[in-house]
Amino acid sequence: MKNTNSNPFETYKGKPLVRCGNVIYYGKASERYVIKMEVKDSALMSDLKISTKVSVEMIDTNPEIEGAKKIVKMSEKNGIYPALDIANVWLNRISIEH
């Protein structure tokens, strides 16, 4: 993850990450799909809080779609890095398909 001066957000594999509490959004809001990751459980390891259970949802950003129909894919991962990896795969695949 890194931050450049031209982009105010942290990034992972070139896509922005925005955190609000236990929820992390991954991807560009201007694109058709973004990923919502929610930390469901965490544990302390050497005074560091580690995410142990993360729900991952691919969300359609189309404002005409409402409610549960916005969720295109969902999964649950054991940790933030497996969650980020599946999120990156989903966004890359969907960009190739469209």
Which residue intervals of the chain are DSSP H helices?
80-97
pTM: 0.85
Do β-strands 23-26 and 15-20 pair in parallel, antiparallel, or remain unpaired?
Answer: antiparallel
Q: How confident is the model at residue 98 (pLDDT cuts 50, 70, 90)?
A: low
Neighbour tally for 64: CB within 10 Å: 6
pLDDT in tens, 64-95: 999 999 999 999 999 999 999 999 999 999 87
DSSP conformation class of 29: T
Residue 5 — pLDDT band, cuts 50, 70, 90?
Answer: low
Six-digit token string for 98: 């469209």
